[in-house]
Chain A
Amino acid sequence: MKNLKFKYFVLLLSLIVLKFNATAQLDSVMARCNTLLTEDFISDGQQYLSLITGDQTAEFSVVFYGGNIYRVISCGGNDSKDIIFNIYDKYRNLLFSNIDYDNTNYWNFQFESTVECFIEAKFEPGNSRSGFAVILIGLQK
């Protein structure tokens, strides 16, 4: 009976610790992401995150308005370069992939005209871990 109560307690404790770890991980990812939203950019007012495992992809839709410069920022895990992000137009023409630029965690985009896009975010291939993928978008002032 005592042994069972002890196991019960350990299980509960483990779950509590896991919960706080997840929250702490997200806070840490968000904090890193926010540092890339420098003074000359203002946020679009929202933050987009998804919990993905190693080989999954999160997809976000976005309309970028013409005549503006945007900064797209990606963050996840502990390594600043462990998220791959690709940007496509609505017909799936590839507009950008950070793989071509050493997995950079941000890139600026000057849109001459308004374009409907999809942003894909995933962990680097071969990465079996899971965690939060965060995308932030800033508009240059």
Chain B
Amino acid sequence: MVRQTFRIVITVLIISGLFFYPNCKGEDSDKDTNADSLQIQNSDKTFKFKEKLFSIPSPFVASDLIKEISDDFNSDLLNPAENKINYTTTSDKALNLGVYTADLAYSNVYEQFSSTTKYIKVVRNLSSELQIMNSYTDKVLENFEKNLNDKDSLNKIFTNAYRETDLYLSENNRQEIADLVVTGAWIEGLFLMTQIAQEENNKELIDRIGEQKYSLQNLIILLNKHQQKNEQLKFLNNKLNELNREFSQIEIKYKYINQIVVPNERKSIILSETQIIITPELLKRITEKVKEIRKLIIK
């Protein structure tokens, strides 16, 4: 009787664990996104996300920024779809899924539909090889075909797909893949920005590059979790740390200013000022380092 009760209690405890902590993993695994990923801070019952994931803009937001600054689409900057055959490991596939997603976003924002079509195919194939939501990506493709001439609808479809994919991977104990996709997309977005900055010398674009200082620190934290399991990631993270040393020389000054509220528009105008100080020499070093890291990723 005691043994039976004990058996039931143990079984219930195990099942409770499975049901109430759907994302829980071993000690070395990822615990850092979504509901179960919060850590308690101090005694004031405040939960904080360990990483500032918010600071990593989606590739679609980055592409919009690029389009605002430069009217010229440059296909030579993109990672050729044909390179896909070079990516055989899971890490390579995940990183380059991010790279291609950024290229897809860049093509779409310039309404380069043949290029967009090419990149959605390669994104689909890599997603399939990584076993990411096959039915969902099929649906995205279907919507894509229906909205082929509507850049804004496509942008929305892709952005939602990116969000869903991130959530799907997080919820299915595949945080490493999710983080690599984000890393690949971020590097490609930064590569495009730094290359375009060389031609345009635009203050706004250069400021945006400088602001990536926040995102880089978060990416390094993300990858730190996985590097012990993966030598390739350790190497990549070392390179990102080298890049971080350059970014740390960027000076950011902030001044708080009272905001203006427009209640009838449900809007606040935030007037606080941030000043990014980045010298041309530093920008050049960052551009070269980003190019080197991107070359390592796309092979």
Q: Which residues does A use to contact B, with CB under 8 Å?
A: 1, 4, 7-8, 11-12, 15-16, 18-19, 39, 42-52, 55-67, 69, 89-91, 93, 95-96, 101, 104, 106-116, 120, 132, 137, 139, 141
Contact = CB atoms under 8 A, between A and B. Distances in A.
B295 interface: no
B146 interface: no
A70 to B, nearest CB: 10
Given A42-B155, A132-B35, A4 B55 contact: no
A48 B274 contact: no
A4 B8 contact: yes
Given A49-B34, A51-B35, A44 B45 contact: no
A45 B55 contact: no
A57 B47 CA distance: 6
Query: What class of interface size applies to chain B in its complex with A?
Result: 35 or more
B16 interface: yes
Contact of A96 (B5, B16, B36, B268): B268
Interface of B: 4-5, 8, 11-12, 15-16, 19-20, 22, 34-36, 38, 41, 44-49, 52-55, 57-61, 64-65, 152, 155-156, 159-160, 162-163, 166-167, 204, 207-208, 211, 214-215, 254, 256, 259, 263, 265-276
B159 A101 contact: no
A116 B162 CA distance: 23
B48 A59 contact: yes
19 contacts: A4-B8, A11-B8, A18-B20, A44-B57, A46-B58, A49-B35, A51-B38, A52-B47, A58-B48, A61-B52, A63-B215, A95-B268, A96-B268, A101-B266, A108-B266, A112-B270, A112-B271, A120-B46, A137-B54
Nearest to B215: A63
A16 B15 CA distance: 9
A66 B152 CA distance: 21
Given A95-B270, A107-B267, A109-B268, A56 B47 contact: yes
Contacts of B36: 51
Contacts of B46: 56-59, 120
A42 to B, nearest CB: 5
Nearest to A64: B270
B19 A108 contact: no
A129 to B, nearest CB: 15
Given A12-B15, A62-B54, A63-B55, A109 B267 contact: yes
Contacts of A58: 38, 46-48
B259 A114 contact: no
A66 B173 CA distance: 35
A55 B8 contact: no
Contacts of B12: 8, 11-12, 15
